[in-house]
Structure 1
């Protein structure tokens, strides 16, 4: 089948009833349901940094009635206390099934994430990255495949703009679900607010050498 997605071994996703063009035309809820139909809810994991816009995928997952395990990475001793507090707030609110992986530094993040995906038997990793966030993400496709670990990487809100993300967050109305640092117009990197003087570059999980 011709289309914008690469072939995905070990999965019939691209030759299933829903072709790639239709997947693109679905809303995010439809995309999530289609992913579950293809892979099964017990074979899917959401990856999250619990940054300022992480609530989007988490809340949409819950609205669809799914509770995928959420894999998140933590570097002990390195800042981001606000991120950890927010993570625990959302865990308590939604009853999230969290898998917290501790790593020593930024360079270890992708390897640690891949190890966790394989250990949990995940067939599809869902992440809330968007094509307008960085130049590398602009070249991402809705569905990609990591041959090294045999896992599909799926980005349901890849085509959302920052304005769409903001509108969704404020539509929740419950500000207790917002990241404490969330603010209209805030620049973000990897889902977190940029520190003063920091460049808007790619995070180590979804950089140019990582699918």
Structure 2
């Protein structure tokens, strides 16, 4: 089944209904990546409360905020779910740190992307291997690189269909939904962190700053992606 056919079947379905349709079409072949961001917590709620046939995983980079680990525990307490953790390959990480040091990502875009490749991209490829559909919490207004994406698309890099159920949601709508449904979310979101990644690479943003200004703030705006959602040019 291609993306066009899938879009026709899904039609105007949203939220839980959308996910139920996808799992019926691709049994045992749907996976959801959570970084425990506020968007991901909504999708986790839909999966957990409706017992959807979707496998959950997260990328434990080893440099997450303590608040993220706390939310991870709270999420497991709330929902009857298993969230499989994928960590960096020890040999790759040890070699990188031995040669360039623990904070070389501040020194160049190349070093930062290599760090992201080891801590995120390689573990991701292991996580999604053999799956047909990858569910994400991506929203279109999260960065300039995501405006050209669609809520259903084919990821040529990873050879997998990607679905973004919250693609057209605003950050304000996401927070409102979580509060109305008492969904636990990272306390850092209330402290100026709209986007939360690794602790050394994430800061709070100031009023008027771009949504992604707190991620890799020392780099050019157009480079602020880690490669998880890369698009072939």
**Is 1:64 aligned with 2:64?**
no
- Output one character per residue of 1:65-115: Cα deviation in whole Å (capped at 9) or x when no partner: 315221211122x24121112112211221222111112432221232012
Q: How many residues align?
A: 191
| RMSD, matched Cα | 2.9
Alignment match, 2:97: none
**Is 1:137 aligned with 2:146?**
yes
Pairs within 5 Å for 1:91-110: 91-103=76-88, 104=93, 105-108=115-118, 109-110=120-121
Alignment match, 2:186: 179
Structure 2 unaligned regions, length at least 5: 94-114, 206-211, 216-223
**Is 1:199 aligned with 2:213?**
yes
Contact kept in structure 2, 1:144 and 1:153, CA below 8 Å: yes
- Describe the shift of the 1:170–1:210 C-alpha distance in structure 2 as closer, same or farther (beyond 3 A): farther
What secondary structure, in the 3-state scheme, does the structure 1 residue paired with 2:37 have? Answer: coil
Pairs within 5 Å for 1:13-92: 14-15=4-5, 19=8, 23=11, 25-40=12-27, 42-66=28-52, 68-76=54-62, 78-92=63-77
Contact kept in structure 1, 2:64 and 2:198, CA below 8 Å: no
Bigger helix share: 2
- Describe the shift of the 1:208–1:146 C-alpha distance in structure 2 as closer, same or farther (beyond 3 A): closer
Alignment match, 1:111: 122
- Describe the shift of the 1:123–1:208 C-alpha distance in structure 2 as closer, same or farther (beyond 3 A): closer
Contact kept in structure 2, 1:53 and 1:192, CA below 8 Å: no
The CA deviation at 1:205 is 4.5
- Describe the shift of the 1:190–1:209 C-alpha distance in structure 2 as closer, same or farther (beyond 3 A): farther
Contact kept in structure 1, 2:34 and 2:40, CA below 8 Å: yes
Q: TM-score, normalised to structure 2's length? A: 0.70
Residues of 1 paired with 2:132 and 2:229: CA distance? 21
Residues of 2 paired with 1:32 and 1:144: CA distance? 15
> Which structure is larger by alpha-carbon Rg, 1 or 2?
2
Return 186-195 or 143-152, whichever deviates more: 186-195
Structure 1 unaligned regions, length at least 5: 1-10
Q: TM-score, normalised to structure 1's length? A: 0.76
What secondary structure, in the 3-state scheme, does the structure 1 residue paired with 2:142 have? Answer: coil
Residues of 2 paired with 1:45 and 1:130: CA distance? 18
